[in-house]
Chain A
Amino acid sequence: MTRLLALTVVAGLAAIAWGALSSRARVPLSALALVVSSAGAATLAVRVLATGTNFAWSQTNVLPLGGLDVRLTPLGALFVLVSAVVAIASSVYWTGYARHAMAGRSASASFALFTLSLLVVPMAGNVTTFLFAWELMALSSLILVAHDHARRPESISAARWYAVMTQGGAGAITLALVGLAAHAHSTRFSAIATASTHLSGAVASTFFLFALAGFASKAGVVPLHVWLPKAHAEAPGPVSALMSGAMVNLGVYGIILVGRTLLPQGPQWWWLVVSLLGGTTAAVGALYAATSRDLKRLLAYSTSDNMGLVLLALGASGLSLSTQHPRVASLALATAMVLLVNHSLFKSTLFLGAGAVHAATGSRNMDELGGLSRLMPLTSVTFLVGALAVSAIPPLNGFTGEWLLFQSLLHSLASHDVASVVAGTLAVAAMALTGGLTIIAFVKAFGITFLGRGRTERALGAHEATFSMRVAQGALALACVATGVVPYLLVGVVARGLAGVASPSISGWATLRLSSLSGALTPLFLSGALLGALALVAGWRTLVQRRHGFANVATLEAWGSGRHHQSPQMQYTATSYGEPILRVFDDVLRPDRDLDVSHVVESRYYLERIRYRASNEDVIERFLYRPALALLRAWARRVRVLANGSVHRYLAYGLAALVVILVILK
């Protein structure tokens, strides 16, 4: 297995080097090396999952403080496998996408580095390796977010937000992990876990909260999500697929690592906090997804929404564990993982599709698109599959996750603990609310972008994605269908991944059965029945048409209230589609509307100009971050007198700081 690790790392490094140095066949060869690297990691993960034994390897001479330490547990292997699948698809996709963007040296090398670091983070066996890989992941993705900075000023702003949030998060994680390592006198995770029993409650809680804040910001949890819609939208297609399909997962991995593995005896309120964060995130994410008109921003908010649902399941699991309901706890943890893997599959499908749309039309604004299904048939079908999967429509994989979440919450409510009951009820409310809003968001995303008539020249001039892009999208969409129809493909892998953490909770090939809890579902049979019924009805329709002598379908102009010519501008747009939701949730979303009417000077009865402006900026950004930033700026202006540019003064500051540190440390 060491060879597989070597293959992963060497191929990954080769991809970085080839991307950075070569100018001939830069993208195809680095992509090939990345596919090899990811395949190596995937094989390694599958081996660990199949045997259920950890894979360990260490090299103390490379890094200080414990050195490089790889320890792949089944749980880590699950995350590696998911990252590898998304990485393979994104790398294949990249070879076609490079004609559009992301063909330069820095972008190629960063993409390879980003992919490799995503594969290494869940393999880390000590704090040093973890933080090292984590930082590489953050920095390489930052370069990719900013890669289009010469043409788009928005991407600079997005990169700035991302840089601050991700580095702040990494700081919090570092504090927590280094603190834990200092307490355990070892950087190894296994040593930290053993030593954690001697940790006092308050100290453990402090570390947990720091780690939670850091990992939650990576997972796009409200209120630390503000970077996510910006960065995911600005990043190029394959990068946003990787960010949303693999990187945000690692935030959840971190929460499980700290909350369940390193500090297993956490008090109940930790998980209450996690549940609360999850519910809020799901609701806010779904609301903004339903009202966005930027295709990738919509997908990014939906990522927040889905991570919120994962945290709901994770919280329910922790709460059930603390109230002595281990079976429900196992079920909820498995649910969290199923939701997570599902999300990776369908969201990377969707982001690759959105990337193809952007490459073909140069626009992400759905109000400018439309009618793409005729020009991009395969992309439209894969996007539809992803959209239906995220809306939890059977028989696609999202449905299994939603069903399991409902079951977990139902059974967690059976406990007699007040906190669990309140959390469970709120969780069901959040889940139900997001379910409906997600349907709006994705009917809009697919319907406005791909159906109807093209609204602008850009949309009318679109062309289908290249072969490699279609292969990647098609493969991921097929995975969504396969894991939906035969959920064992997914549930079985998840069960193996959780082998050391939780008892098996779901069984069955064609029928999902909850072990020792009531609940069963047969997606396979359900899809068969649906297909059969579909064939029956279609047969009836054809038969009836034929019997009455109609050979074809009459194509007619659509009805336009007696108007003959209907322009594409008359169609409903993404803005108008989400407008009812904006109105219903007016108090929460606080949209900014401005109507400016100027009259003709001679007569007030005639209008000269009407200007209407509406923006739907993130309410948390406006009411939490903007004031905080303004405060920070004012404060910074005040302390500017301290920094007058004199080197002597700065040296004196340094001396003073040193003295203070020496005094503190004695």
Chain B
Amino acid sequence: MKSTLLWSGIASLAQLIWLVLAGPLALGLMRKVRSVIEGRDGARVTQPLRDLRKLAARQRTRPTDATWIFSAAPLVLVASALVLGALSPLASLHVLMSSRVDVVAVLFVLLLGSVALLLSALDTGTAFAGMGSSRAAMVGAMTEPALLVAILAMSLGAGTSNLARLVDAGVATSTLAGPARILALVSFFIAVLAETGRLPVDNPATHLELTMIHEAMILEYAGPDLALITWGESMRLVLLVGLFSNLALPWGIATSVGALSLGVGLLALTLKVAVVAIGVSLFEVTTAKLRLFRVPELLAGAFLLGVLSVISAVALR
């Protein structure tokens, strides 16, 4: 019993360290893939890490009208991602509190970070940040239904919303390609793209005033705060992609405690996330950003897929 607790602690710590590094590296990988396809050499995969180090060495700034919300928001964003990195089953099913963390909790802890950013934007008292906040809130509000319904559909099959047991049920089952599951995963994936601000919903590389959503919100941040936000966002991306790939292809995740299975789990996780990240950037190269008011249609589509998935999960059991 005691050793199980110890091993879950080690697994949580390993996931945490993995997440801290994997976030920026995944960003670097996605940029690299993009530049290679576009015929450029591109920066090294480790470039985002160097960027973070460079930003961390600068002085913090704040706009004249900002309050404590502005300086607390990056902390909340990163802290929420770290907590989820330690407590959700990414590399191992046996992490701390694994029996008491469910998908809904993960979703709402992520929301804590999002809300912190939305508020920090309004705290600056500028038009751009307000615009970004309003748009991001709209996209977020449209994403949440799709995410929740997809989660419900997946939980229905397993009879629980506990994450570890959901992933475990995926390991145990032989029919991974049921219609309910596929529909739910597609819906979940679209929601992940929207939630993390990727194309076709938001262009992470843009600084064009009319099109930016997320970048407009964080315009006033500089130095270590900007580093924290970039870092936190990248961790959220990897976290959601990791959860998605564990739900879609659960193999490789450590189902037992021990150093070997944990190592295999980390390796499998890295592989899965890398594959999905490359897939996302391949998709991004070939896609244009949607007009802002077409985004809700996409997300409504994702929501509908989720509802269909719930119905087929109920009808086909």
Contacts and interface: CB of A to CB of B under 8 A. Distances in A.
B60 A554 contact: yes
A319 B124 CA distance: 48
A494 to B, nearest CB: 19
B134 interface: yes
A529 B75 CA distance: 13
Nearest to A560: B126
A619 to B, nearest CB: 19
A429 B76 contact: no
A573 to B, nearest CB: 8
Contacts of A572: 122, 127, 129-131, 133-134
Interface in A424-463: 425, 428-429, 431-433, 435-437, 439-440, 443-444, 446-448, 451-453
Interface stretch (B29-37, B109-117, B170-178, B268-276): B109-117
Nearest to B165: A518
A514 to B, nearest CB: 10
A530 B126 contact: no
Contact of B156 (A371, A413, A538): A413
B258 interface: no
A436 B142 contact: yes
Interface string A550-591: 100111111111000010101110001111110110000000
Nearest to B158: A518
A451 B64 contact: no
Given A541-B228, A558-B64, A519 B105 contact: no
Most chain A CB neighbours (cut-off 10 Å) among B131, B140, B152: B152
B140 A406 contact: no
B4 interface: no
B173 to A, nearest CB: 17
A579 B100 contact: no
Interface string B90-128: 000000010111101100110110110011011111111
A399 B108 contact: yes
A90 interface: no
A414 B147 CA distance: 20
Interface stretch (B39-47, B78-86, B236-244, B249-257): B78-86
A429 B155 CA distance: 15
B119 A559 contact: no
Nearest to A381: B68
Given A371-B125, A544-B56, A421 B314 contact: yes
B57 interface: yes
B141 interface: yes
Given A403-B104, A558-B65, A536 B310 contact: no
A543 B63 CA distance: 22
B23 to A, nearest CB: 14
Interface residues of A, number: 81
A409 B108 CA distance: 17
B206 interface: no
Given A518-B160, A521-B102, A453 B125 contact: yes
B160 A519 contact: yes
Contact of A519 (B76, B145, B162): B162
Interface residues of B, number: 86
Interface string A268-295: 0000000000000000000000100000
B137 interface: yes
B126 A571 contact: yes
B141 A553 contact: no
A128 interface: no
The interface residues of chain B, by DSSP majority, are classed as helix
B108 to A, nearest CB: 5
Contact of B118 (A447, A529, A571): A447
B65 A453 contact: yes
Nearest to A377: B67
B58 to A, nearest CB: 8
B134 A576 contact: yes
Nearest to A548: B57
A521 B105 contact: yes
Given A559-B126, A572-B127, A414 B156 contact: yes
Contacts of A530: 79-80, 83, 109, 112
Contacts of B59: 545, 548, 550, 553-554
Contacts of A164: none
A407 interface: yes
A407, A443, A522, A554, most chain B CB atoms within 10 A: A443
A373 interface: yes
Contacts of A428: 148-149, 152, 310
A537 B79 contact: yes
Given A526-B105, A530-B80, A570 B99 contact: no
A216 to B, nearest CB: 25
Contacts of B5: none
A524 B81 CA distance: 18
Interface stretch (A23-31, A45-53, A388-396): A388-396
A447 B67 CA distance: 11
13 contacts: A402-B104, A406-B152, A432-B303, A439-B118, A439-B144, A444-B137, A452-B124, A522-B100, A553-B61, A559-B220, A561-B128, A571-B130, A572-B127
Instruction: Across the A-B interface, give the 4 residue pairs with the lowest CB-CB distance, nearest first.
Output: A572-B130, A436-B141, A447-B122, A452-B125
Given A393-B115, A446-B119, A530-B83, 20 more contacts: A392-B111, A394-B105, A394-B108, A413-B310, A436-B144, A444-B137, A448-B122, A451-B122, A451-B123, A453-B125, A521-B102, A558-B64, A558-B220, A559-B219, A561-B209, A571-B130, A572-B130, A572-B133, A577-B137, A584-B142
Interface of A: 290, 370-371, 373-374, 388, 391-394, 399, 402-403, 406-407, 409-410, 413-414, 421, 425, 428-429, 431-433, 435-437, 439-440, 443-444, 446-448, 451-453, 511, 518-522, 525-526, 529-530, 533-534, 536-538, 541, 544-545, 548, 550, 553-561, 566, 568, 570-572, 576-581, 583-584
